[in-house]
Amino acid sequence: MPTKPPHRPLKILHTSDVHLETDTFGSGERGIELRDKVRTAFGRVIDIANERNADMLLIVGDLFDSARVTEEGLAFAMGTIARAQMPVVMIPGNH
C-alpha cells in the first residue's frame, strides 16, 4: 500500500549543551548573573519553539553540567520545559 506524503514538512527545534547549572559560573553576584543569562536563553528556546509552532523540541545532551543539580535548578528546568506546547525529547548526554 503506498504511503501518503506528509501534508507539510515536520518542524523540529533542536538545542544541546545548555548547561543550566555548572560550576564554571562561579559563585557570588557574577555567578548568579551568568546563570540567569543561560536560563533566559533556555527560556527563549521554548518561546521560539512555541512561536514557530514546532512539532517537536529536541534537547540532545547536557541540559545540566553534572549530576549535582539543585532542587531549585531542576524545578526551573522542568517548569520551563513544561511551557513547551509540543512533545519534548531529551537525550541525557554525558552530563
Tens of pLDDT, residues 3-31:
777 688 899 999 999 999 877 777 888 88
Q: Say if 80 falls within a structural domain.
A: yes
Residue 2 lies in a domain: no
Specify if 62 maps to a domain. yes
The strand pairing partners of 58, in sequence order, are 14, 89
CA distances from 66 to 1, 2, 53, 69, 86 (A): 48, 47, 31, 7, 26
Q: What is the mean pLDDT of residues 60-83?
A: 91
> DSSP letters of 41-88?
HHHHHHHHHHHTT-SEEEEES-SSSSS---HHHHHHHHHHHHT-SS-E
Residue 57 covered by a domain = yes
Assigned domain for 68 exists: yes
Q: Residue 27: inside a domain, yes or no?
A: yes
For the question of residue 95 being annotated catalytic, the response is: yes
Number of domains in the chain: 1
For residue 24, give the 3-state DSSP assignment. helix
Structural domain of 49: 12-91
What percent of the chain lies above the pLDDT cut of 70?
A: 97
| Residue 7 placed within a domain | no
pTM for the model stands at 0.85
68, three cell numbers: 549535582
On the question of pLDDT at 57 being above 70, the answer is yes
